[in-house]
Chain A
Amino acid sequence: MKITFDWIKDHLDTKFKEDKLLEQLTNVGLEVEGVENLSTGLDLFKVAKILKTEKHPNADRLKVCDVDVGEKEIKKVVCGAPNAREGLITVYAPPGAIVPKSKVKLVVAKIRDVTSYGMLCSESELDLSDESDGITELSSKKYGKSIGKSYFSKSNSNLIDLSITPNRPDCLGVRGIARDLAASGFGKLKDLKEKKIKSKNKQTVKVKINKEKGQACSSFGSCLITNVENTESPKWLKDKLLSVGQKPISAIVDITNYVMLDINRPLHAYDADKIEKGIVVRNSKSGEEFTALDNKNYKLDDGMCVISDSKGVLGLGGIIGGTRSGTEFDTKNILLESAYFEPRSIRSTSKKLNLDTDAKFRFERGIDPLSIEDGLNKAALLIKEICGGEISKIDIQRIETGKVRTIKFYTNLFEKVTGFKISIKEILKILENLGFKIKKEKNYLKLSVPTWRPDISKEIDIVEELVRITGYDKIKIIDPIKERNKSTLTQSQKLFHFLQRAIASKGYLEAITWSFTDSNYNDHFKDKNKEIKIINPISSDLGVLRNSIFSNLIMYMNKNLDRGFKDLSIFEIGPIFTGSNPGEQNTVVCGLSVGKKSRLSWIEKERNVDVFDVKRDVVQTLVEAGYNSDKFFIDSETPNYYHPGKSGRLFLNRGKDQIAAYFGEIHPNILKKIDIKTESLMGFEIFVDNLKLPKKTLKDQKTKFQVSDYQKSERDFAFIVDKEIKAQDLINAVSSVDQKLISNIRVFDVYEGENIPENQKSIAISVTIQSFEKTLNDNDLENINNSIIKTVENKTGAKIRS
């Protein structure tokens, strides 16, 4: 909503200055979004007279004009307008002025070798009309003595842009704003003694509101104005509209706009001669069509509120009129409409048709149903004053009368909600100033809500009015008590934070990427999940919810590689989506590692990042989070975006759990398809929601301290096994021999090739044997040795390498 202080002063007597106004607007909840000085520079535009024109020496269509701008010096201006002629009074803009329409700053310029000092302006260039065929022609009668004077009237009022919240339709009119200001003590609301129409003529266009289900129009006021002469608006009206950035069009349109902006009463003017046999307000039928004033054709559904005549739809009530009955400069007879339309209906119709107009914006927020007459009076009288003609009586059709809402307000609620007190006297004053009718009952106030406040229906709304006008600065600060009755984080939230920082501590940079992604990328990683489309994505490359974090992470990893970074580790912890219902999401820690370790190091041999790097990061993180790695079970079944032979799946416990993590090399086909160039690309995913929460707290996790001081022995074994046999199987076999005695098993060599039969490999392990009870003697050790060899050979088909 754009206003000026000058316009507010039409409704408000105040002694305050504009800076105080801006502060006060904000204080009562009418947020000032911006202040613009529209008149800046406009005073540079001067009324000027062309003294002489000559043809431009180098251009047929241009003229060189000698212009009197009220100064001693005559200005030479090059001008292309066909109507530039000797004696014409027009508008001159000097170098330095900014052309309102194009916002171009003028400079002294050579135009085809002739220097031009400034410009003669068309109405279009001045943003006054669409007239661009020639320069502005001013009447010599009116402007003859004003040569050198500023063309635009001086306005010191800045354009104030307010952000009006959707609950305050009343403040979409200047008077509503003035009322709030007055209530807050900023001045006194002027009592506008509005003139009423005094006429004996009947309104002869018949209006009927169909009583039907879902009728959105409850009352329709109208007034016929005959024999008008639609003309240009007078200067005061043009200036008024211009001051808030509205373009004047014609008197009739300007007047309806003015009334709308002034008291938030939308009106519509019909060319009465184009209405066939009276007006019927009814629900539309599916398939009906009309051409609206925006020159677009609209096809209607069932049940939209239309204003129609016997020939069909004239317009959409409260949203937009039609071209068939629109007013023009030659319109003689006008039917002025002032009606009430149901906000919900307005909103649903405009949404369906994707139509947004000033009227719609207001009606959907709720127009004062009692402003029908005021609007007609004000507009009709102005039309008569400016365009002449005869006004009829006002005709109002109603199918229901609006009820005034009443609220029982117990005044102690104010202190209960705000924490501070105000006097009853103060309460009464504020509410009266806001337009409430008040009846004092024994222990409450019976309040009649002003009809322009559709947002007020409950006691709590009254509290808001009172505290808003009193000032939020009166609310006293009550310091919070430092007391905690419930732990801040749940176990799973703690786990989330732990994993986040544990992975970061392994050298990964945390990234946050969109929850949505490019379906082309997502396709690579969605595995068995179904694609979840966003109906109205911001762009097609952010069209689906991510089924995996990899899609975004790889895309951004690629961008970093393009920036010239080669060795990077990044991760994200966040949601992935498995369906389009609330809750169908999982939290995942997803990491990527590319390039080499120790690239160009003088001391360490460089090597590509490999599967066992990311495996370490995953395992170490899980161990740090409190899971026992002795119980981990790993196999090689992984989704198709991993390298089938170089990736693994990790369970916290064999057979009992859901998948805890995947790790491995990203499938080379994907690298090829998304054109990512790096020596190595490894990734992992930890499924946070699949991790069973440790039941015990940290203090319970610390069990009895038990160590053995008896001598430990290390024994090395080398087994020859089939290639298919996993190291994990071998380790499990060894540890099954005697879990009490075998305290550690370490794989120290894996070998295939010479001296080993084809399709077989050698795995060398070192086993630590230690008893809690005694020092083992040679015999004990020999027994365990044999047992280990036998068990491994039996369980895995291995042969001890001799």
Chain B
Amino acid sequence: MSDLKNIQNDYSAKLNNNLSLEEINQIKTELFGKNGLISSQFKNIASIPEADRKKFASDLNQIKDELQNLITNKINEIESKKINEKLEKEKIDVTLPERPFVRGKIHPVSQTIDEISSIFSEIGFSVEEGPDIENEYNNFTALNTPDNHPARDMHDTFYLDENKEVLLRTHTSPVQIRTMLKDRPPFKIIAPGRTYRSDSDQTHAPMFHQVEGLHIDKDINMGHLKGCLNYFIKEFFEVEKIKMRFRPSHFPFTEPSAEVDIGYEIKDGKIVIGEGDQWLEILGCGMVHPNVLKNVKVDPSKYQGYAFGIGIDRLAMLKYGINDLRAFFDCDYRWLNHFGFDPLDVPSNYRGLSR
């Protein structure tokens, strides 16, 4: 009994001294090692008379816990003191620059194409593609623009052969032809891509981007066309309301044809879509001409629908306040960096077009 008490008193006192880690470990061994003072007491339990055994065991366990706690606390104390001492010496200037990183960007035209695809995806359009080099049949004749027709003058065409049979597509409309030839109606597609015309000035580039739209089914009328474009423009410009004007025009491949203007105004040097009394032409559209449907073996007495063509670069300029079309293709590092988008900003239906 008194042995236990002595051990407790001795070692409690010892452990209250200023000890090193080694000294504590030494004490630990003295107490709890194989033949340590406490360990050997446990071996004694069996020899304690029955009547006292229970109390002895209980006292012994209590003392063991007490001393163990003391040791653990002491070790913790020393270790945290050590760490604190180390921390004192380890101050760095965190305002120094981080390790270098580089940031890539997505071109505004690519971003805009993804935005457009995302919007039309929602209302059931799928994406089709066609080649940049086209034959004159797909680019013109099949689209009801025969040779020697003045409407061909509306397109300044790049040709790849003297006979003018192969050319760089002047619009994305030949994708309509390709799509309808390889499949059966109904059709509900958009086709974004590069297009080419041989003029070049402040507002025209020899290469630009268009997105074609085509919806052919049994009873698609101009109301659907208007609804589709109204929806698209609103979604694209991310505005509550838009002002849209359909105006009669002429394209050989649609009848009736329309050009679409949107209302805008300039506020503090920035263009605001959907307000004001200025009009800006943004796309051409119409009901697909029966001759076009015949050319692709679709029966115009059974099927009808609309098509549209939108200038992608123009849309990007309007939405993101870019003034100069030529800069799109100039590859100026500063411009790409300024107008480019983070690759993680993927336009999608659920998270919205932009953050």
A-to-B contact residues, CB < 8 Å: 26-29, 31, 165-168, 343-344, 347-348, 364-365, 416-420, 458, 460-461, 463-464, 467-468, 472-473, 475-490, 493, 497, 500-516, 532-538, 542, 545, 552-553, 556-557, 559-560, 563, 565, 568-571, 574-575, 577, 580-585, 597-598, 601-604
Contact = CB atoms under 8 A, between A and B. Distances in A.
Given A365-B150, A568-B333, A582-B138, 5 more contacts: A477-B223, A478-B227, A508-B104, A512-B110, A515-B196
A549 to B, nearest CB: 12
A501 B106 contact: yes
Given A535-B161, A537-B158, A601-B99, A480 B224 contact: yes
A560 B330 CA distance: 10
Nearest to A509: B336
Contact of A510 (B96, B104, B228): B104
Contact of A478 (B100, B114, B126, B224): B224
The 3 closest A-B pairs by CB, nearest first: A29-B248, A419-B223, A507-B102
A507 B336 CA distance: 12
B31 interface: no
A479 to B, nearest CB: 5
Nearest to A345: B148
A571 B129 CA distance: 22
B194 interface: yes
A467 B222 CA distance: 10
Interface of B: 96-97, 99-107, 109-110, 114, 117, 120-127, 129, 131-135, 138, 148-151, 153-154, 158-162, 164, 166, 168, 188, 194, 196, 198-200, 206-207, 219, 221-224, 226-228, 230-231, 245-250, 252, 255-259, 287, 289-290, 304, 328-334, 336-337, 340, 343-344, 346
Given A510-B106, A511-B336, A583-B131, A538 B330 contact: no
Contacts of B131: 582-583, 585
A364 B207 CA distance: 29
B255 A509 contact: no
A168 B250 contact: yes
A477 B340 contact: no
Given A507-B104, A563-B332, A565-B333, A344 B127 contact: no
A747 to B, nearest CB: 24
A475 B223 contact: yes
B123 A481 contact: yes
Contacts of B126: 486-489
Given A461-B255, A501-B343, A513-B329, A417 B227 contact: no
A31 B104 contact: no
A464 B304 contact: no
A477 B102 contact: no
B115 to A, nearest CB: 12
Given A515-B168, A515-B207, A535-B162, A577 B127 contact: no
A161 B224 CA distance: 33
Nearest to B330: A556
A474 to B, nearest CB: 10
B287 A460 contact: yes
Contact of B223 (A476, A490, A503, A602): A476
Most buried by B among A416, A479, A486, A542: A479
Most A C-beta atoms less than 10 A away, residue of B255, B256, B259: B256
Contacts of A481: 123-124
Given A489-B127, A585-B131, A28 B329 contact: no
B133 A580 contact: yes
Contacts of A516: 158, 206-207
Contacts of A365: 150
Q: Most chain-B CB neighbours within 10 Å: which of A29, A420, A585?
A: A29
Contact of B304 (A417, A535, A597): A417
Nearest to B199: A538
A234 B41 CA distance: 139
A326 to B, nearest CB: 27
Contacts of B164: 535
22 contacts: A344-B148, A347-B150, A365-B150, A468-B248, A472-B248, A476-B223, A477-B226, A483-B124, A484-B122, A507-B101, A509-B105, A510-B107, A512-B110, A514-B207, A536-B158, A536-B159, A553-B331, A563-B334, A569-B104, A570-B331, A570-B336, A601-B100
Q: Which of B151, B228, B333 neighbours the largest number of chain A CB atoms within 10 Å of its CB?
A: B333
Most central of A31, A365, A502, A604 by chain B CB within 10 Å: A31
A489 B331 CA distance: 28
Nearest to B104: A504
Contacts of B198: 536-538
Contacts of B148: 343-344, 347-348
A468 B106 contact: no
B226 A532 contact: no
B297 to A, nearest CB: 18
Nearest to A468: B248
Nearest to B105: A509
Contacts of A569: 102, 104
Contacts of A560: 331-333
A511 B104 CA distance: 11
Nearest to A483: B124
Contact of B123 (A482, A542, A568, A603): A482
Nearest to A342: B148
Contacts of A504: 104-106, 343
Contacts of B127: 488-490, 493
B99 A604 contact: yes
B170 to A, nearest CB: 13
A485 B200 CA distance: 41
A569 B127 CA distance: 30
Contacts of B105: 504, 509-510
Contacts of A583: 131, 133
A511 B107 contact: yes
A584 B135 CA distance: 12
Contacts of A475: 222-223, 226, 246
B255 A464 contact: yes
A195 to B, nearest CB: 34
Contacts of B162: 535
Nearest to A485: B124
Contacts of A532: 160
Nearest to A356: B153
A29 B249 contact: yes
A506 B104 contact: yes
A773 B327 CA distance: 62
B223 A505 contact: no
A29 B284 CA distance: 13
Nearest to A167: B250
Contacts of A166: 149-151, 153-154, 250
A419 B133 CA distance: 37
A567 B106 CA distance: 18
Contact of A419 (B132, B222, B332): B222
Q: Most chain-A Cβ atoms within 10 A of its Cβ — which of B135, B153, B164?
A: B153
